[in-house]
Structure formats: structure tokens, C-alpha cells
A and B are shown apart, each in its own frame.
Chain A
Amino acid sequence: MSLFWYDFMQRALIGVLLTGLSAPALGIYLVQRRLALIGDGIGHVALTGVGLGLLTGTSPVLTAVVVAAIGAVVVELVRERGKTSGDVALALLFYGGISGGVFLATQSDGRASLLSYLFGSPLTISSHDLVVMAVLGAGVLLVTVGLRPWLFAVCQDEEYARVAGLPVRALNLLMAVTTALTVTVAMRAVGLLLVSALMVVPVAAAQLVTRGFGSTMAVAMLLGVVAAATGISVAASYDTAPGATIVLVAIAIFAAIAGTVSVLRAVRRRRGAPVRPAVNAEPPDVVLQP
């Protein structure tokens, strides 16, 4: 671990750990709503913010937060209306976002740094970047962990939450803005194109072994941190792309857990023990109704 004696390596490690912790914490709500790919779309929109920042010479992180937040709110409004045409509206927004970003960035002097925003560049994180990431990451964790029961209720059953008198709209908009913050935190670490992977893959891996929402969230955050730390170490040792390495490690963790779980099930089945109590079985006196 002598690599981490270097300042830039320490900053890289802290940056990816922040991402590994906050991305699954937000991602679990997207997965719960079956909107796992929305994070990817918001990442596309954030690129226009990056392009705007590069062109005008302002901080790309700041412009990315603002543009991504606007994009996320628009996505939420489209979702709220629940129109089938919303699908196409989202496609327009996402591809408009990514092409707008590339268009603006290539007009600026900072065109070379475009790739580092698309695929991440944790080794170039400055102390200033790190402070911004820490503040945004803390905001994400405050919302996602602090408001967990309320966000859970809204994502689980929005109509019920509305009848219960919860501020559904405010919570949805807060979650949209928090998605934008998460995307921007992760932007420097794994890149806008891979943000969604760290939101979704640790959650998918965690729920292979968990039974409840709270435990899934905790395990997903732990796996996110492990994938980030392992990925950055591997990337530094073998000089591979850090963002891609972190995501590949996360996918490897998913595969390892999935494999272990199915082997254990097969072993238990061979021993003749029931895999799980047959909880799905109806009592014998079922009443069949249409």
C-alpha cells in the first residue's frame, strides 16, 4: 500500500471512497422504483454542464451540478405525468445532454479534459475538488440515510404516501436534485458514463443476500466502498483506467456473490433440505377468484 504515500493517491482514494459510499445510497431508491437507468441519463445531461463550464471558464463541477439538477427535475416532472410519450421525451433530453456537452466542450480550450469527465480521472483530483466532493457527498448521505423511511415510503407506494399526507412532491424533487449531486460527486471518480454502474451494481449485488431494505442499503454501501478501494488499488498497481477498473471490480463482486449463492442453494438442495420454507404456498383452502 506504499502507493498511498503520495498525496495525489490519497486524494484519489478518498474521492473514490466518497463515490463508492454515496452512489449506492442514492441508487437503491432508483432501483426500488425500477428506474435503474435514470442515473445514466442524468449523467448524460450533466455533460452539457461540464461543456458549459469549460467554455465559460467557470468550474465544470458547479455548472454540472446546476445543469444536472435542472435535468433531474425535468425527468421527475415527466415521470410524474406518467405519459407513455415520456419515454421519448427522456431520450431527447439524454442525447441532447451528451451531444450538447461534447459540442460545447470542443468549442473550448479544455477539450482535452472532456475524456476525464466522461470516464473519470481520480488521480487528478485536486484538494479543492476533494472539498467540493466531500460537501456534495455529505449532502447526498444526509438526504439518503437521514430521510430513508420517507423516501422508502414514497418509492415503495407513491399513492399510499400521498393519502398518508406525506409531502410526496417535495420528496420527489429533493430526490431528483440529490441524484444530480450524486452524479457530480461520481463524475471525477468514475466518469459520467459509468456513474450509473456504481448506483446500481452494488445494490444488485447486496440484494442477492439481504431480506430487507435497510440491510440492502447498508450492504450496498459497504460493497461500493470495497469496490472503490480495490479498484483504485488495482488501477494504480497495473496502470489501468481507474473508473473502468472500479466498475469491473463491482461487477466481479456481483458475479462472485451470485455464484456463491447459487452453489450454496444447489448444495442444500442435494442434501434434500428445502431451500427455503415454502412461503409462497397458499393454504389448502384457497378461494380462486378472478
Chain B
Amino acid sequence: MTADRVAAPVVELRGGVVSYGARPVLRGVGLTVRAGEVVAVLGANGSGKSTLIRAILGLVPLVEGTVRLFGVDRDARAMRRHWRRIGYVPQRLGAGGGVPATVAEVVASGRLARRGLLRPAGAADRTAIAAALTAVGLADRAQSPVGTLSGGQQQRTLIARALAAEPELLVLDEPTAGVDGASQAAFAEALRSFVAGGGTVLLVAHELGPLAPLVNRAVVVHDGRIVHDGAVPVPAGHHADPHHDHVHPHAPQDQPGIWNGP
């Protein structure tokens, strides 16, 4: 039993079907992520790659299919003790921006997963929050309102919030989209040390950029299906040029040509 738990994949999605109204977005998708892997989900805008991870996390309902996280049925009561093992980094700050909040306050909310309802913050909580801020290079901005930060610094705040929970699995939705170079480098560094500590990563990206050396497996989603699962595909066509224009035709017109060459 214990041995089963240890060997169980961190993420196991089987036969996942998602549709928005009558429009199918995922058509029977399976994905397994094992402990220690760094898996990138690639695909064009509208391919369903973000929906894939949102469905795994239960933020989008599955019409069909099952999800197991750390070997536990995601919808089972027993899952309640396991959510704290997951650090989720959404694409952008939530809608709750009507009142200013400091970087430290946002990062501290990541710690609640470990803290237990009504329990006051302890020394371990404060240490974890400080460590998370340092890991993303924002320790000196802890008391700044998040609304005054650049897009890249806000993205790093969200990563620090996820790291504060000391997760075993990080799930990141487009972490590098629209992020300045300095933030991308700080972010890649934070991710590298997380992986070195034995962490598992599942990330969605349009483009890997500085993260490419970290990724050891790529999954390509096209039109709601997984069309590639294995080594990171070599950029093809105009993508191969590091200075290529970021002008992309969007799905469904986009051709699944980034791995099988022009």
C-alpha cells in the first residue's frame, strides 16, 4: 500500500473530455506526470493547453474522464489533505484588486494551505514566506503594493505565493507570457532550485524561452488532442530563428507543424 503510494504518478489524467457548451475543447486526453519530471504542455493559443491543466486542477469540469493526484482520486474526500502539495501559478493576479495588497500579503496567502483554518502564523510560516520572496528575487519589494509592480514582478509574486506552501508539484499557466527578460531569468532560477530540490513541474507555455534547458518532456496539444509526448520538439520554420517575429496565426488555422518540420 505504502509502496503503491510512493510509486503512484503525481498527475494521472485519463480520457479527459472538456467542452464549453457544445464546443469540445479536449477530446479524450490522457497525461501522466511522474515525480521529479518537468513537463511542458505546448500548443497554439486555443489548442486547449490551458484547459488541460485547469481540468486537472478541477477549475474546469470534466465531462468524462478521471484525475488522480498523488495517487488519490481528485474528487474524493481524502484529497483534502493533498491539495497543499500542489502550488498553482495562474496566468495573472486574481480579480481581487479593488483594495491594495502588499507583495508580502499576497505571498502569505499561499502559506494558508499549510496553516490550517484559524491557526495563527508561526515561525515556520514566516520563514517559508521570506524564503519564497528571496527565491524569486523580490525580498526588497515585500512591502510594495502588488498593483505598482511590473507584469514580470507580479508574475514572480504569484510564483512566490505558490512556493510559500512548500509544494511538491508546481503547476504553472503561461509563466513567461509577457514577462520582461530580467523576470524571466529570475523565474528560471527559482524553478531550477525547485527542481533541484526534487520538485515536479507541470507548465503550460506558448514558448519555452529560458526554461527550455529545464524541461525534460514536452506534450503538444493540438485541437483538443495530444499529438506529441516525448522529447522537447526542435523549433521549426520561423520559430527556429531566435529573433523571429512573435506573430502567430491562432488555432484553428494553425498547423501542427512545430515538431514534424516544415
Contact = CB atoms under 8 A, between A and B. Distances in A.
Contact of A160 (B82, B84, B88, B207): B88
A143 to B, nearest CB: 11
Interface residues of B, number: 57
A281 B106 CA distance: 21
A158 interface: yes
Contacts of A271: none
B101 interface: yes
Nearest to A156: B96
Contacts of B209: 287
A287 B155 CA distance: 15
B134 interface: no
A156 B101 contact: yes
Contacts of B143: 211-212
Interface string B12-29: 000000000000000000
A164 B112 contact: yes
A216 B99 contact: yes
A289 B178 contact: yes
Interface residues of A, number: 45
Interface in A35-73: 36
Nearest to B111: A149
Interface of chain B: mostly helix, strand, loop or mixed = loop
B253 to A, nearest CB: 15
17 contacts: A31-B98, A31-B99, A34-B98, A149-B121, A157-B90, A160-B90, A163-B83, A164-B88, A167-B117, A211-B144, A212-B101, A214-B105, A276-B148, A283-B180, A283-B181, A283-B182, A289-B206
Given A28-B99, A279-B148, A165 B246 contact: no
Q: Among B83, B101, B178, which residue has the most Cβ atoms of chain A within 10 A?
A: B101
Interface string A147-187: 10110110111111111111100000000000000000000
Interface in A247-290: 276, 279-283, 285-290
Nearest to B93: A157
Contacts of B150: 279-283
Interface of B: 57-59, 80, 82-84, 86, 88, 90, 93-102, 104-106, 108-110, 112-113, 115, 117-118, 121, 143-145, 148-152, 161, 165, 171, 176-182, 184, 206-207, 209, 246-248
A32 interface: yes
A203 B99 contact: yes
Nearest to A33: B96
A210 interface: yes
Interface string A199-211: 0000100010011
A77 B95 CA distance: 18
A256 B98 CA distance: 21
Given A153-B109, A157-B96, A211-B145, A163 B57 contact: yes
A4 interface: no
Contact of A149 (B86, B112, B171, B182): B112
Contact of A213 (B100, B165, B177): B100
B108 A149 contact: yes
B109 A156 contact: yes
B83 A165 contact: yes
Contacts of A36: 98
Contacts of B247: 290
Contacts of B108: 149
Contacts of A164: 83-84, 86, 88, 110, 112-113, 165
Which 5 residue pairs of A and B lie closest in terms of their CB atoms, listed nearest first? A157-B94, A165-B83, A156-B96, A153-B109, A212-B102
B40 to A, nearest CB: 16
Contact of A159 (B90, B105, B106, B113): B90
Contact of A285 (B101, B104, B112, B182): B182
A216 B105 contact: no
A216 B100 contact: yes
Given A159-B90, A160-B161, A166 B101 contact: no
